[in-house]
Every structure is written in C-alpha cells, then in structure tokens.
Amino acid sequence: MTSPTAFEIAARFASVKSSPVRDILSVVGREDVITFAGGIPDASLFELDDFHAAYDYVLTHQGQRALQYATTQGEPELLELLAARTSRKLPTTSAQLQVTSGSQEGIYLVGQVLLDPGDVVLVEQPTYLAAVQAFTLSGARLIAVETDDSGVLPDALDAAIAEHHPKFVYLIPTFQNPSGRSMPVDRRAAVAEVLLRTRTPLLEDDPYGELRFEGVSAPPLAALPGMAAQTVLLSSASKIMAPGIRIGWLRAEGPILRAIEVAKQAVGLQSAVTDQLAVARYLATCDLDAHIAHVSRIYRTRRDAMADGLAGLLPASATITHPEGGMFLWASLGGGVDTAELLPKAVDNGIAYVPGWPFFVADPDHSAMRLSYVTNSPEVIAEGLSRLAKVFGWA
Amino acid sequence: MTSPTAFEIAARFASVKSSPVRDILSVVGREDVITFAGGIPDASLFELDDFHAAYDYVLTHQGQRALQYATTQGEPELLELLAARTSRKLPTTSAQLQVTSGSQEGIYLVGQVLLDPGDVVLVEQPTYLAAVQAFTLSGARLIAVETDDSGVLPDALDAAIAEHHPKFVYLIPTFQNPSGRSMPVDRRAAVAEVLLRTRTPLLEDDPYGELRFEGVSAPPLAALPGMAAQTVLLSSASKIMAPGIRIGWLRAEGPILRAIEVAKQAVGLQSAVTDQLAVARYLATCDLDAHIAHVSRIYRTRRDAMADGLAGLLPASATITHPEGGMFLWASLGGGVDTAELLPKAVDNGIAYVPGWPFFVADPDHSAMRLSYVTNSPEVIAEGLSRLAKVFGWA
C-alpha cells in the first residue's frame, strides 16, 4: 500500500557515510579471521573482578539511585574523581566536566554545539573517521592540514586558519588514530602559538595518552599557557578501563559547557547512571594506574611483534610509523597497491585490517592501512602478518 | 589572555532551549520540596533484586563481552526479546529494531536522519518538550496541530499537512506527555487515514502505553493496516523497568533503519553493553508483566489521590484531564493565572510542578501546569496539594 520511500532521508545526511571500521567489525566476528582492524582492547585484560565488585557495590548500596533519572552533567562522585585525574595534566574542577557516553559522544556534542551547515573544521591528515562522520552530520566542511610525523605543521595550520576561518581545529596529539603518531613538546608549543594568536578553538581528543610504552610524556595542548580557555579536552574510559560501559568525559571552560549540557539533554538526557556509579566505585577503590601499567607492558610486546614482523616483510616502497604508545600502527605500502581493493581477499584469507583511505578528507593514500596491535597476542600477530604477506605478495 | 568567547556557539543552537523540566529537577533535590514536576518513577518500586541478579549474571557469565565494544544495532539476545515483546502489538523481527539510549535518543536520531534546516514537524498541542528540543537542534520548524481530549483533530492534521508539507508528524497517542490524554480507537483510525492518504511519515512515541489503569487498550498507530511501513515506533525501558539504565528501542522498516544506525554510530557508537545485557537477562528471567501490573495498581491510587484532591480544590475556571494511565495529569487553571510566574513561590513553599507554557510550540496556555502523580504516595500527594492550594489561593 505504502512504499518504503515514505521516509525521505535528510539531504544533509546524504554525505554521511557509515563507518568502514564498524562495517568491517560486523564482518570479522568470524572465528577464523584474525583482526587487526578495530581499536579493540584485549578483553582478557579487562579488570573483570574489579568491575563486577563495583557493580555489585552500586546495586547493593546505591541501587535506587543507579536505576533512577539523574542530572545531565553526571554523577557528583564520578565528576570529583575524574576532576582529580584530569588535574594531573591540567587543574580541573568537577564544574568544568561533562560526562559523556564515550568520548565519541563528546566529539559529536561539540560538533552540534559549534557547527552551522557549511562551517569548516580543520583536521589532521589522516584523522579519526568517526569524528569526520560526526562533524559531517553537523553539516561541516572538513579541511585537512598538512601533517608530518610530528603532527600538523604550524605554518600550514596558520595558513589554513587564515584561508578557511574554521570554527575549530580537531587534533589527536598523542598516539593519533589512525597513524599512531605523537606531537613532540616543541611542536605542541608551536601549534598552541598559532591557535592562541588566531583565537582558534581546539577540540583535543586524548583517549590513548595514558597508554605510553616509551618516550617522554607530553602535556595536552589544553595544558599549555592560555590554551585551557579555548580547548575542549576529551577523555575516555574505553581504552584504559573498558569500552562496553560507554563512559567518557570532557573538560571545558565558560559558556560552551552549558551549551554542551543542553545538547546532551536533547540527545539522551544523561549517560547511564548504573555505569557512571560503577566507574566511580572502580576509580575510588581500584588501582587504575597499576592496570594501565600492566596493559601498557603487554601492548608494548605486541607493538614490537607487529613492528618487527612488518620490518622483515614489507617491500622497499613501504613506510610505517613507530608509535610510542596507544593502539595503532600505520603502514603506507606505496607501489600502487590499493588496500581497499584487497580487503575482501584478505578477509577470505583470514586477516582483516582497515584500509587507509576513509581516514583522509581529501587526497587519500590508497596504499595505506591501519593495523591495531592490541587485540592479539604476539603469536597471533605473527600468524596474521604471514597471512597479510600472502595476500599482498610480500617476501 | 584569551576571552571565553573563543567558542562561538552555532547559530542554529541559539533557539535550542534547556529543558525547564531538567532545570527544575536540579532545583528540587531539596528534601523539603515535594515534587510533582518530573516524570520520575517511584524508585522504591524498582525491581532492585531482579536487576542486581541480572547484572551479577552478566558480569559472571558474559563479563568480557559486557565490557567490550559491540555492534551499533544492539545485543542479539536483547533484540530478540524486544522483538517478541513489540510483536504483542505489531509483528516485529529483531532486524526491524534499533536499541537506543532511552527513547529520547530515538527521538533525536529520527530528527537527525530526516530533518534538514527549515523542515517542518507537526506536533500535538501541547507536546513533549524534550522532543521539541531535539527537533529544534536538528533545525526543524515545529507547527502545532489543533488537539482536543482525544488527540489531534484529523481535519486539522489534514489541513496542516497540505499547508506545511511536514517531514513527519510526532505523536504520543497513549497517556500523552504532558496532558495524560489518550487517542481512542476511532480517532486513531481517522488519523491513520490522513497519514496514509497523504503519505506522511509518523514518529510514534509510546513510553507509557503499558501503564494502563483502566479503560480499553488501543493498538499503536503503527499497527493499523498500512501504517507500519511509514511509522517509527519508539519504546522505552525507562517507565516500565528503570530509567537510569538508559535503554530504549525503536521499530522501523526499510532504508531509514540503516540511516538511523549510521547516525547512532556518529553520536556514540553503541548503547552500553553492560546495560543491554542486563536488560536482556531481566526480560528473560523476570516477570515484567507482573511488575507492570503491580506498579499500575499503585499509580492508579496515586492518580486518584491527585485527581480527587484537585477536584475539591480547584477554582471553577480550571479544567483537568483524567488520564487512564501513564504518569501525568494536566491542569489548566484559567482566570489569568501564570504558573511560571508562581513557580518560585511554590518552590519556596515546598512544592514543585512544571509550568505548562514550554510544552506549547505556539500560543501557550500560561495558566497550565503538568502534575506527575507517580513519584509520591497518596499522603504526600495530599500534603503537596495543600501546599499548592496555599500558593495559588484555592479554597
């Protein structure tokens, strides 16, 4: 009687793409496929007993509260604990925080609050694709800034700001997704100088920063003099605790906080109270630092397994990044290879990765791929690499 | 160094208002204030032991999965159970469902997927204000359709569709928020006839439908012949299980489902897996129908306490609705009273309600108020009404 076309999808939605990562994830649930695709923590490393105890405490002692409506900003004890943790990097009060359902929601809310259709966001090249998705849904035009192994180039950033008048710049300065690159201290200072001089707001995404294996820790850009007032700093429990509970938080100052809170009301009233209280209990009673140190030691051996294994396999045309932490390694194979085209053959051969092209907002490197080293043991990584070598005809 | 105005809030955000309900909620946490304001379930009625057991099961037997990333659509066992439950009203497969973080997220996602700036949404008069907020954030213009005690008037709906070409119509046909009104079966048929003839999509919000105290149950509009393909039907665990866990679900058919899934990726990847699995376990092992019957019996006595109490107090100029279920009673006081103006005095006197005007998208009734009867016992309701009478000078 009625055709399914009764629903007319919005025009602004037409350019929003599904996440290739999510789509690949749904394909590679197969037992016989080794996946380097998702930024998926190794579930066997989750502090399951600690979280079980935290939920048990919450439902025993705070049950009615955990199941009830609550304020949009977040649960007070969680905000206090997150403020204390964030203050290690940058002095932060609980009033400067908003709890989000993962840092993805933080990215999305900032886009909703700041972007009118046609507004420009400057991003790294390559950049996190679900951020591209979120900003595009808000109607933004994304412009890539030239990026080297130390992050965006300050001069290129300066020029892009002058030319495009962006609403904000989106950066992942530490263990970037997808490249694994980090911005050294001196580059951070130079980038901050440009942002301060041009009064350009920054959305700083820092989900991986605590997963450092080696090298010198650098402060977030938000912590450089003058930057706090013009930066929204995003953090997440997903990579250091567990992603299934969907808890992140953002730090900001001034009127934008209130606007973000109103947007979050509209999107979903508040994050799950059960999970907020469980994370608060976990933070109050467990040793997250010890857990992070433990996980980082294991991830380091996995990075080594992947980087060393690739070094012995890759053709001369290839370059790879050497991440000092985080989850991802980025390989550009060169030589006219198309990693997207070869993905079905790879999955047929029991190995999955994410092709590089979706991480570019312009001029994609079709020979690039993102490889996550955190999900699998060194032995499985070795097997996965030998499958990759077969698919790509290496060695 | 930098002024807080570095962040320039988007123009389209300027007309998005904070929810007066949420703002009132943050004020009335005070012990000495009786609140009729929020649609807040009585926490003492939550099935705390059942939920505790469900989370315990999940973290004992499905712990790694509960803490891990998952697909955007929702957990398979939860989708199956929700499909079975939804099929009581309308045959539904799990492939036709999307899990949402409360039905608020469902409202928001449908707005994001269907609305371009300037598009029209037709709504009841009055209507749910957080839906107004969500649609406004998507850039919509909201137009109210003339509404009587049986819901929108079919002729007025027909005329408004012809004049405004809405992207969709948003209705809460059963125990409407804020009015408590329900659409009888014959009105539903007449409204469906208009929507089918004009091929106008419907967003049907049904969070309260199972909380019926009396009267004849009516099918959702989505279940009328031909309507399923052009309706998104929203349901929620918030009013029948618990709101703190933030689980809702929507039913749709055709390409819109995929678009909604992509939008949800951008907003937050997926709903909390812990909570999804706990709700699945609860549904699989507990008697939700018995719980709803129990809660409905109690809510009925509270509705009676409020309706009977008001009947003896209200001035002759006032009218009130007589809800057969749900959470809200709507009083229009008439006589030039301004309920928003009197709210501070009411809170000072230890009683809170929601003024009626924010629920109107045009021509507000400033003498109206929304009163929730579900949060408090009949004794507390009686005390609250006597405080209201004092504030408003009744009797």
How close, in Å, is residue A313 to chain B by CA atoms?
A: 31
In a domain, B6, yes or no: no
Region A12-37: what's the mean pLDDT?
Answer: 73
Chain B residues touching residue A51 (CB < 8 angstroms): 59, 63, 67
**Quick check: B15 contacting A, CB < 8 Å?**
no
pLDDT of residue B31: 77
What's the helix, strand, coil split of chain A in %, to 5?
A: 45, 15, 40
Chain A residues touching residue B37 (CB < 8 angstroms): none
Q: Are residues B224 and B369 in the same domain?
A: no
Which tokens in the block code for residue A253?
Answer: 């100052």
Which residue has better confidence, A167 or B26?
A167
Q: Are residues A330 and A200 in the same domain?
A: no
Question: Prior bond to A126 cis, omega within 30?
Answer: yes
pLDDT of residue A3: 44
pLDDT of residue B120: 96
Coil, helix or strand for A140?
A: coil
**Quick check: B53 contacting A, CB < 8 Å?**
no
pLDDT of residue B335: 86
DSSP assignments along B309-349, one per residue: HHHTTS-TT-EE---SBSSEEEEE--TT--HHHHHHHHHHT
In a domain, A335, yes or no: yes
Q: Are residues B193 and B247 in the same domain?
A: yes
Of the candidates B10, B67, B256, the beta carbon closest to that of A51 is on B67
Q: Is the separation of the CB atoms in A182 and A174 below 8 Å? A: yes
Distance CA B243, CA B238 (A): 4
In a domain, B22, yes or no: yes
Q: What is the pLDDT of residues B226-271, one digit of tens each?
A: 999 999 999 999 999 999 999 999 999 998 999 999 899 888 889 9
Q: Are residues B269 and B294 in the same domain?
A: no
Taking the CA atoms of residue B186, residue B189, residue B194 and residue B200 in that order, the dihedral angle to the nearest 10 degrees is: 130
Distance CA B20, CA B336 (A): 21
Interchain CB distance below 8 Å, A6 and B261 = no
Which of A113, A101, A108, A98 lies closest to A130, judged by CA? A108
**Quick check: A44 contacting B, CB < 8 Å?**
yes
Region A198-216: what's the mean pLDDT?
Answer: 95
Q: Are residues A80 and A141 in the same domain?
A: yes
pLDDT of residue A19: 66
Give the CA distances from residue A104 to residues A65, A132, A237, B88, in Å, rounded to whole numbers and listed in that order. Answer: 26, 11, 11, 35
Beta strands in chain B (DSSP E): 34-35, 97-100, 120-123, 141-144, 147-148, 151-152, 168-171, 202-205, 231-236, 248-251, 319-320, 328-332, 351-352, 354-355, 368-372
In a domain, B8, yes or no: no
Which residue has better confidence, A10 or B246?
B246
pLDDT of residue A138: 87
Give the CA distances from residue A297 to residues A173, A291, A382, in Å, rounded to whole numbers and listed in that order. Answer: 22, 10, 18
Looking at residue B164, its amino acid is: H
Radius of gyration of chain A (CA): 21
Residue A60 is part of a domain; what is its CATH number?
Answer: 3.40.640.10
Q: What is the pLDDT of residues B77-135, one digit of tens each?
A: 999 999 999 999 999 999 999 999 999 999 999 999 999 889 999 999 999 988 998 99
Of B235, B261, B285, the position where a domain reaches its end is B285
Domain count along chain B? 2
pLDDT of residue B16: 72
**Quick check: B60 contacting A, CB < 8 Å?**
yes
In a domain, A209, yes or no: yes
How close, in Å, is residue A394 to chain B by CA atoms?
A: 32
Of A262, A285, A308, the position where a domain reaches its end is A285
Of the candidates A59, A226, A266, the beta carbon closest to that of B137 is on A266
Distance CA A37, CA A297 (A): 21
Q: Are residues B293 and B365 in the same domain?
A: yes
Region A220-233: what's the mean pLDDT?
Answer: 96
Neighbours of A297 (CB within 10 A): 10
Interchain CB distance below 8 Å, B255 and A9 = yes
* Number of helices followed by number of strands (H, E) in chain A: 13, 15
Chain B residues touching residue A22 (CB < 8 angstroms): 71-72, 265, 269
How close, in Å, is residue B96 to chain A by CA atoms?
A: 13
CA angle B205, B276, B77 (to 5 degrees): 95
Beta strands in A29-131 (DSSP E): 34-35, 97-100, 120-123
| Matching residue, tokens 């009273």 | B337
Q: Are residues A193 and A249 in the same domain?
A: yes
**Chain B: residue nearest A101 by CA?**
B268
What is chain A's mean pLDDT, rounded? 92
Count of A-B CB contacts under 8 Å: 310
Q: Which of A95-99, A340-344, B242-246 has the highest mean pLDDT?
A: A95-99
Q: What are phi and psi of A152, to 5 degrees?
A: -65, 145
In a domain, B3, yes or no: no
Q: Are residues B243 and B103 in the same domain?
A: yes
Interchain CB distance below 8 Å, A269 and B22 = yes
Angle between helices A256-268 and B129-137 (to 10 degrees): 120
Which of A124, A128, A101, A123 lies closest to A19, judged by CA? A128
How many residues are present in chain A? 395
Angle between helices B256-268 and B102-114 (to 10 degrees): 110
Q: How confident is the model at residue A12 (pLDDT cuts 50, 70, 90)?
A: confident
Q: Is the separation of the CB atoms in A164 and A122 below 8 Å? A: yes
Region of residue A74 (phi > 0: left; psi between -120 and 50: alpha; otherwise: beta): left
Model ipTM? 0.91
pLDDT of residue A4: 43
How many residues are present in chain B? 395
Coil, helix or strand for A89?
A: coil
**Quick check: A198 contacting B, CB < 8 Å?**
no
How close, in Å, is residue B373 to chain A by CA atoms?
A: 16
Of the candidates A7, A200, A268, the beta carbon closest to that of B102 is on A268
Interchain CB distance below 8 Å, B112 and A270 = no
Q: How confident is the model at residue A253 (pLDDT cuts 50, 70, 90)?
A: very high
Which residue has better confidence, A31 or B275?
B275
Chain A residues touching residue B255 (CB < 8 angstroms): 4, 7, 9
Q: Are residues B306 and B376 in the same domain?
A: yes
Of A285, A308, A341, the position where a domain reaches its end is A285
pLDDT of residue A9: 83
In a domain, B174, yes or no: yes
Looking at residue B55, its amino acid is: Y
H/E element, A94 = none
Distance CA B381, CA B387 (A): 10
Of the candidates B6, B134, B246, the beta carbon closest to that of A199 is on B6
Chain B residues touching residue A266 (CB < 8 angstroms): 16, 104, 108, 130, 133-134, 136-137
Q: How confident is the model at residue A395 (pLDDT cuts 50, 70, 90)?
A: low
| Matching residue, tokens 């030239």 | A146
Interchain CB distance below 8 Å, B67 and A244 = yes
Distance CA B57, CA A55 (A): 11
Distance CA A37, CA A320 (A): 16
Domain extent for B22: 14-46+289-392
**Chain B: residue nearest A242 by CA?**
B67
Burial B182-197 (b: 16+ CB within 10 A, else e): bbeeebbebbbebbbe
Q: Is the separation of the CB atoms in B306 and B34 below 8 Å? A: no
Region A335-349: what's the mean pLDDT?
Answer: 92
| Matching residue, tokens 């997250």 | A288
Chain A residues touching residue B100 (CB < 8 angstroms): 268
Residue A328 bridge partners (DSSP): A372
Residue A302 is part of a domain; what is its CATH number?
Answer: 3.90.1150.10
Q: Are residues B66 and B35 in the same domain?
A: no
For residue B77, count CB atoms less than 10 angstroms from its CB and return exposed for 0-12, middle for 13-18, buried for 19 or more: middle
Distance CA A289, CA A285 (A): 12
Q: Are residues B98 and B166 in the same domain?
A: yes
H/E element, A149 = none
* Ranges under pLDDT 50 in chain B: 1-4
pLDDT of residue B19: 66
Interchain CB distance below 8 Å, A201 and B9 = no
pLDDT of residue A39: 84
Which residue has better confidence, A218 or A2?
A218
Q: Are residues B305 and B269 in the same domain?
A: no
pLDDT beyond 80 at A371: yes
Coil, helix or strand for A395?
A: coil
Q: What is the pLDDT of residues A183-195, one digit of tens each?
A: 999 999 999 999 9
In a domain, A371, yes or no: yes
| Matching residue, tokens 């570095």 | B6
Q: Is the separation of the CB atoms in A13 and B112 below 8 Å? A: yes
